[in-house]
């Protein structure tokens, strides 16, 4: 029985660890905002102001449970009951989705492992039963430390908020991580600005730039746009700007320089991101970040809704 209980605890730990990591896929910012907050928390009734805080606290809780289920401090009095309560809350929401016939990805494992509400509901029932089994076969540590658990969760939560700061429309200025590399004349941290990373020969980049021009023509308060081009197809920049319909301010950055890779296009942008990249800032606060042609690709309708 001890071996079965241990295996069950390891399964729960792995499940919650996977769930937390999956909610940050394919990129942490996209996963936590577009998939988890907008796809799960806001439809549950949480406001757009509350969802960013709640999303980070829930993911921090999942990371916490992944480790807490393997120890014995208040495991029966606190850890297992609170986990079951969280799963029940999500199952109530999933049951409503099932009732209305919603069969889209529920976001429980983000976009890493798409699941329908029915599949997620069954997964949660199985998890609850497994937690009940563990509950019946473990005991709290005689001298359990609530402070130890609280500090552990607090540390994980602080890391979540530090690594994934919440974007805000506040006038309070922040300093963009790209400001060191962008031309000073653009002043990325002052007011509303759009920063793009494009290749001049990339068709998707060209279409994104043209879309920005079209959105700007229908908006009275559209931000200034600055483009960082890689030098791989520098000769195509004039044609690129002609296609976009506007002479945007731009700079050219060496794609890769092994002798000075810190200031190369690849290093500045980040190896995990793909063109086209479109970033919207408000006083240095990152409001939107699109990249590549996958799940986090530039969404013209979503972007236009910010200015109309």
Q: Are 249 and 176 in contact (CB under 8 A)?
A: no
One domain for residues 14 and 127: yes
Q: What is the pLDDT of residues 236-260, one digit of tens each?
A: 999 999 999 999 999 998 887 666 5
State residue 171's pLDDT score: 43
Nearest residue to 268 via CA among 178, 166, 198, 191? 178
Question: pLDDT at position 260, please?
Answer: 56
Q: Provide CB contacts within 8 A for 121, sequence distance 6+.
A: 91, 94, 95, 98
Q: Would you state the pLDDT for residue 29? A: 75
State the total domains in the chain: 2
Note if the pTM is more than 0.85: no
Question: Is the residue at 238 inside a domain?
Answer: yes
Please report whether residue 179 resides in a domain.
no
263 CB neighbour count, 10 Å cutoff? 12
pLDDT of residue 176: 64
Look at residue 175 in the predicted model and tell me its pLDDT.
Answer: 58
Domain end position, chosen among 111, 134, 163 = 163
On whether residue 177 sits in a domain, the answer given is no
Q: Across the chain, what does the average pLDDT equal? A: 87
Residues 39 and 153 in one domain: yes
Do both 190 and 159 map to the same domain?
Answer: no
Shared-domain flag, residues 155 and 193:
no
Q: What angle do CA 94, 104, 32 make, to 5 degrees?
A: 80
> Are 48 and 195 in a shared domain?
no
In sequence order, which residues have a C-beta less than 8 Å from that of residue 189 and are 6 or more positions away?
A: 173, 174, 175, 176, 179, 281, 283, 284
146 shares a domain with 200: no
Do residue 6 and residue 56 come from a single domain? yes
Q: Quick count: other Cβ atoms within 10 Å of Cβ 89?
A: 12
Q: What is the pLDDT of residue 170?
A: 45
> Beta 249-253 vs 224-230: how paired, if at all?
parallel
Residue 169 domain flag: no
Positions in the chain whose pLDDT score sits under 50: 169-172
Q: How deeply is 114 buried, as exposed, middle or buried, from its count of CB atoms within 10 A (0-12, 13-18, 19+)? A: middle
Q: Which residues form the domain of 244? A: 184-304
Same domain, 261 and 114: no
At 74 the pLDDT is 96
| Percent of the chain scoring above 90 in pLDDT | 54
How confident is the model at residue 132, as a pLDDT? Answer: 97
């Amino acid at each position: 029985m001890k071996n079965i209980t241990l295996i069950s605890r390891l399964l729960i730990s792995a499940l919650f660890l996977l769930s937390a990591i999956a909610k940050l896929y394919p990129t942490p910012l996209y996963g936590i905002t577009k998939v988890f907050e907008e796809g799960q928390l806001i439809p549950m009734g949480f406001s757009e102001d509350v969802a960013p805080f709640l999303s980070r606290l829930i993911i921090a809780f999942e990371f916490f449970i992944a480790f807490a289920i393997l120890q014995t401090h208040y495991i029966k009095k606190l850890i297992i009951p609170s986990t079951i309560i969280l799963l029940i809350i999500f199952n109530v929401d999933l049951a409503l989705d099932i009732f209305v016939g919603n069969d889209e990805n529920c976001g429980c494992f983000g976009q890493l492992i798409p699941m329908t509400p029915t599949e997620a509901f069954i997964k949660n029932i199985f998890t609850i039963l497994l937690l009940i089994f563990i509950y019946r076969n473990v005991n709290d540590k005689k001298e359990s430390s609530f402070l130890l658990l609280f500090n552990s969760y607090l540390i994980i939560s602080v890391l979540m908020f530090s690594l994934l700061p919440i974007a805000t429309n506040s006038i309070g200025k922040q300093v963009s991580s790209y400001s060191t590399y962008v031309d000073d004349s653009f002043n990325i941290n002052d007011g509303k600005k759009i920063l793009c990373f494009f290749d001049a020969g990339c068709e998707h980049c060209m279409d994104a730039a043209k879309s920005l021009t079209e959105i700007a023509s229908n908006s009275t308060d559209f931000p200034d746009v600055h483009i960082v081009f890689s030098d791989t197809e520098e000769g195509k920049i004039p044609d690129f700007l002609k296609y976009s319909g506007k002479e945007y301010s731009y700079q050219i950055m060496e794609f890769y320089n092994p002798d000075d890779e810190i200031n190369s296009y690849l290093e500045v942008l980040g190896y995990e991101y793909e063109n086209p990249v479109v970033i919207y800032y408000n006083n240095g606060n990152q409001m939107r970040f699109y990249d590549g042609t996958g799940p986090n690709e530039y969404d013209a309708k979503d972007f236009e809704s910010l200015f109309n």
